[in-house]
Structure 1
Amino acid sequence: MPSKSNVEMLEKVAGSLEASNGVFVVDYRGLSVKETQEVRRALREAGAEMKVYKNNIVKIALENAGLPNIDEMLAGTCAYVFYEKDAVDAAKVIKEQSEKLKKMDFVGAIADGVALSAEEAKAYADLPNREQLMAQIAGLINGFARDIAVCVKEVPAGLARTVNAVSEQKQAA
């Protein structure tokens, strides 16, 4: 019979998985309490939270939730970063903190229902976030609209220049 604390932890992990869109698994070995608090604060600002659970409990919770099997990643000192909205924002924070502290690294992830390797999870940090993508799309739309306006304006302007040139030729003759 499982202990009461393990059952409670399983419920917490299941709740975190249900409330999130995915999870990054990070190795946090060597982080001090102060550094861990700093990482958690930065993640909270990005709409994510870092929790430390027993790896076996997380394996069971992932299986119960029908999420991909990442058993090979769940070994050693793992922390779990659950993100609610944008995986890219959470990945960027993890990457920034790992470069700053030199004590954290990606182990893997589950994003959009797919298991990701450490390299694939790290690649999320190099993608533009939602706001950057929206700005790029708006810039493209604005550019197309400007080009269309210039083309539409040039049709009557070209016609006017042609008519003016013909009238000048007739007056000269």
Structure 2
Amino acid sequence: MANKNRLLKEAKVAEIKEKLEKAQSVILTQYQGLTVEEDTELRKALREAGVEYKVYKNKLVTLAAKELGYDGIVEYLEGPVSVSFGYEDPTAPARIVNDFAKTHKKFELKAGIVQGEIFDGEKVKQLASIPPKEVLIAKLLGSFKAPLSNLVYLLNAVKEKQEQSAE
């Protein structure tokens, strides 16, 4: 019986370790005091953004984190802790849980791992202020478009002036 439990725990640690390696960002939150409806609301928002939300035993997360060299995250694994894994957009989990925490005072950002770097709760809040990748790309394309539009306008004005002087 004890051997079976050990195998189950080792499998769970391997699962957590795999998720930690694969994720671009991992956000730890304290969820104690949320109602079922609030938890469902949070899970839905995270799922829609492609973020995986799990609750694991802190001891298992600690073992997986230590195996990957994330010893600094262990101090945040106290009490009931949930884990959000962001695989595509590294800012998505931070943004969603931060917005949720603003309206749910019992929900608290504890820490995170973003592209291998450990962040405390305040740094996670700063990360949450970064717009989504799509918005950043749109802004970048807009900044490329403005000078090109001005150039086209200028060339068109020169062409019209030359046509007027030719008449």
Same structural fold, with TM-score higher than 0.5 when normalized by the shorter chain: yes
The correspondence for 2:103, drawn from 96, 100, 105, is 100
Instruction: State the shift of 1:3 in Å.
Output: 2.7
Per the alignment, residue 41 of structure 1 pairs with: 44
Alignment pair present for 1:63 and 2:60: no
Instruction: State the shift of 1:159 in Å.
Output: 4.8
Instruction: State the shift of 1:43 in Å.
Output: 0.5
Distance in structure 2 (CA, Å) of the matches to 1:27 and 1:21: 20
Per the alignment, residue 140 of structure 1 pairs with: 143
Contact conserved, 2:32 with 2:107, CA < 8 A, in 1?
Answer: yes
Give the gaps of 5 or more residues in structure 2: none
Per the alignment, residue 117 of structure 2 pairs with: 114
The correspondence for 1:83, drawn from 72, 81, 86, is 86
Give the letter for the 1:60 counterpart: L
Compare CA radii of gyration and give the structure with the larger one.
Answer: 1
**Aligned partner of residue 56 in structure 2, secondary structure:** coil
Contact conserved, 2:50 with 2:86, CA < 8 A, in 1?
Answer: yes
TM-score (norm 2): 0.85
Alignment pair present for 1:21 and 2:24: yes
Distance in structure 2 (CA, Å) of the matches to 1:14 and 1:33: 28
Give the letter for the 2:108 counterpart: D
Aligned residues: 164
The correspondence for 1:154, drawn from 154, 157, 160, is 157
Alignment pair present for 1:4 and 2:7: yes
> Could you report, residue by residue, the CA deviation over 1:66-121 in whole angstroms, capped at 9, with x for unpaired residues?
34631222212211111111122222211222223222111010001111110110
Could you tell which deviates more after superposition, 23-32 or 92-101? 92-101
Identity %: 27
**Backbone CA RMSD of aligned residues:** 2.2
Instruction: State the shift of 1:47 in Å.
Output: 0.9
**Aligned partner of residue 26 in structure 2, secondary structure:** strand
Distance in structure 2 (CA, Å) of the matches to 1:102 and 1:145: 47
Per the alignment, residue 171 of structure 1 pairs with: none
The correspondence for 1:53, drawn from 42, 51, 56, is 56
